[in-house]
Amino acid sequence: MTSAFGKVGVLYGGKSAEREVSLMSGAGVCEALRSRGVDAHLFDTGLRGIVELAQERFDRVFIALHGRYGEDGTLQGALELLGIPYTGSGTMASSLAMDKIMTKRVWLEACLPTPRYVVIAQDDEVPAAVAAIGLPLIMKAPHEGSTLGIVRVAEAEHALPAFREARQYDSVVLVEQFMTGRELTVALLGSGADAQALPVIEIVAPQGNYDYEHKYFSDDTRYLCPAPIESGLASRVADICLRAYRALGCEGWGRADVILDGEGGLWLLEINTSPGMTGHSLVPMAAKAIGMSYPDLCLRILEQARCKVGGEQARRT
């Protein structure tokens, strides 16, 4: 029964560069939960602080925040201290997944395929990075999402301006091998051995440019769900995404992005531990493909809300 959830806070908005998207995600989640009889309340963490969050006395919260101060482990740590069960991954997994550099290090340690990379912080490091990675390449701000701070470089003379653009978002820049191929994404639900992959989605953006505008506001991007790939390959994609999700210790829900190259190779790009829940978002699309409505998806995620630190015995003492 939805009344068993008690008073539910939907945390949205926030202070990151993805605030606009989070406002849309949170509004959608809150409306969906209310439609199923949940006592859900919006709480904008960009306008209200931790003291007010504690005063609300929420029984659990649904995190619909994207980016820094919501998806990066900072809020998760505060919720652990407050003893408020929350959706999604815990502090460590959230922090790792939000940091694209640390994500790649964990994946490489786990023998999972991800494009070659170097990390740079200064203008004078750009030529060596281009020589090491080769062209084309991608400059990424490692702590941003929603394609913010990401610039493709096809010619050497454009590398320095691209670095400076990405550098506006972060203290260092991830310089990554550009992988040519089909862009796939997989929504993931659950935790550990019980985690499941939803149908693979293929993203077909205009001129291959899946930027912020095409991700959230344009109707020009096409989403093929399930992706038109043979079943054996779909199983391989799902398996590698589940392995990547588990390697980082993710739980609750998330979404992994993969490139399928022309030779059938799979390359992990990143994982989102608090994916978008807007009208253009991919997790609801994948859920719909297996007959799960948007409100039922929100309930499924909310059901798994819990504190993650210390185990049940520690929380009882």
Residues designated as active site:
18, 146, 216, 255, 257, 270, 272, 276
- Quick one: which of 89, 42, 56 has its CA closest to 70? 89
The DSSP secondary-structure symbol of 122 reads S
Cβ proximity of 228 and 202 under 8 Å: yes
Reported residue count of the chain is: 317
**Separate counts of helices (H) and strands (E) for the chain:** 12, 13
Report d(CA 176, CA 161) in Å as an integer. 16
DSSP one-letter string for 139-208 = EE-TT--TTTTEEEE-SGGGHHHHHHHHHTT-SSEEEEEPPPSEEEEEEEESSGGG-EEPPPEEEE-GGG
Backbone phi, psi, residue 168, to 5° = -65, -25
Question: What is the C-alpha R_g of the chain?
Answer: 19
The DSSP secondary-structure symbol of 67 reads S
Q: Which amino acid, one-letter code, is at 257? A: D
